[in-house]
C-alpha cells in the first residue's frame, strides 16, 4: 500500500515530483521519499525475482500522467499488467512465465504482467493498467481502527461482488501504533480475525494489510494462507 502525493514544500529538488508519504496535510513531517526512487527498488526486485508478482494498492492524490511519469523514470512500465473487470485473472503461473513488454518507456497493455496497479483514483480514458481499485476490482474492511477492540469484519469501500478482498489489520492515530501491532500481529490473534472475517463475508482474503510486519508472526500466517 502506497500513498502518492504531489510535493508542495520548499525543496527545489522535489519540485513537481511525486512523493510517497502519509498524513494528509501533515504529509512529509513523518518522512517522505521520491516515488520514482522507491519504484526503482521494486524494479530491481522484479528483475532479481522472476517468480514473484507485485501489487501496488495506491491511495493517490496525483494525476495518472504524473503516476505514469514516475513509473517510466523507474523503468517499471514493461512489467505493467492490464486487466478487464469482466475477465478472469490469469493464473500465477501464466503471469510469471510471460516475458516483460518490449516497450520499456511507454506503458503498454500486458495481460500477464507481473506488476498490478490498483488505484483508488481514476480518470476518464485511463490506460488499462491503471485498475479502478474500489470501482471495479476490490472491497475492503474498515481502516480507521483506533483501538484493538475496534477490529471487526465490517466492510468499508468497494462492492463484495468484486474479485479481490482486502483485510485491513492495523490500528492508527495519525500514524501506525507499534505497541498494538505487537499484539494484533501475533499468530493466534491474526489467524482468528482472518477466519472470522472470511466466514462473515463468505470470501477468502486476497490481501492482508498490516503495520510493522516484523512484529509478530504475520509472515508465517501469510505463508500458511498461500500454502507455502
Q: What range defines the domain where residue 55 resides?
A: 34-134
Residue 206 has pLDDT above 70, yes or no: yes
Domain boundary among 94, 117, 134: 134
Domain boundary among 75, 109, 134: 134
Helix (H, G, I), strand (E, B) or coil at 211: coil
> What pLDDT is recorded for position 25?
60
Q: Where are the alpha helices (DSSP H) in the chain?
A: 35-48, 64-74, 92-97, 178-184, 187-201, 218-225
Number of folded domains in the chain? 2
Domain boundary among 134, 155, 170: 134
pTM: 0.88
Distance CA 22, CA 176 (A): 10
Has residue 18 been placed in a domain? no
Closest CA to 49 of 118, 104, 114, 129: 114
> What pLDDT is recorded for position 101?
63
Strand blocks (E) in the chain: 2-6, 18-20, 33-34, 54-60, 115-119, 130-132, 138-140, 164-169, 172-173, 175-176, 207-210
Same domain (yes/no): 207, 166:
yes
Distance CA 72, CA 165 (A): 29
Cell of 192: 482468528
Dihedral angle computed from the Cα positions of residues 92, 80, 169 and 35, in that order, rounded to the nearest 10 degrees: 150
Q: What pLDDT digit, counting tens, does each position of 98-136 carry? A: 776 655 444 556 677 899 999 999 888 889 999 999 999
Distance CA 218, CA 210 (A): 8
Has residue 19 been placed in a domain? no
* CB of 151 closer than 8 Å to CB of 172: no
Has residue 93 been placed in a domain? yes
Q: Residue 101: in which H helix or E strand, if any?
A: none
Amino acid at each position: 500500500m502506497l500513498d502518492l502525493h504531489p510535493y508542495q514544500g520548499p525543496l527545489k529538488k522535489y519540485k513537481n515530483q511525486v512523493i510517497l508519504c502519509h498524513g494528509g496535510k501533515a504529509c512529509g513531517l513523518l518522512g517522505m521519499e521520491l516515488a520514482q526512487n522507491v519504484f526503482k527498488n521494486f524494479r530491481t526486485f522484479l528483475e532479481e525475482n522472476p517468480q514473484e508478482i507485485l501489487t501496488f494498492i495506491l491511495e493517490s492524490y496525483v494525476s495518472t500522467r504524473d503516476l505514469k511519469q514516475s513509473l517510466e523514470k523507474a523503468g517499471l512500465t514493461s512489467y505493467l499488467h492490464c486487466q478487464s473487470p469482466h475477465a478472469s485473472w490469469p493464473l500465477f503461473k501464466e503471469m510469471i512465465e510471460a516475458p516483460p513488454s518490449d516497450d520499456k518507456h511507454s506503458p503498454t497493455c500486458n495481460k500477464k504482467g507481473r506488476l498490478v496497479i490498483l488505484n483508488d483514483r481514476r480518470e476518464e480514458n485511463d490506460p488499462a493498467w491503471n485498475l479502478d481499485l474500489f470501482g471495479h476490482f476490490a472491497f475492503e474492511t474498515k481502516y480507521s481502527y483506533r483501538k484493538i477492540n475496534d477490529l471487526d469484519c465490517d466492510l468499508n469501500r468497494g462492492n463484495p461482488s468484486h474479485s479481490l478482498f482486502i483485510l485491513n489489520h492495523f490500528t492508527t492515530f495519525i500514524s501506525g501504533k507499534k505497541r498494538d501491532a505487537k499484539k494484533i500481529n501475533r499468530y493466534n490473534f491474526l489467524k482468528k480475525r482472518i477466519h472470522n472475517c472470511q466466514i462473515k463475508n463468505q470470501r477468502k482474503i486476497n490481501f492482508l494489510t498490516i503495520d510493522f510486519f516484523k512484529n509478530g508472526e504475520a509472515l508465517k500466517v501469510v505463508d500458511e494462507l498461500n500454502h507455502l
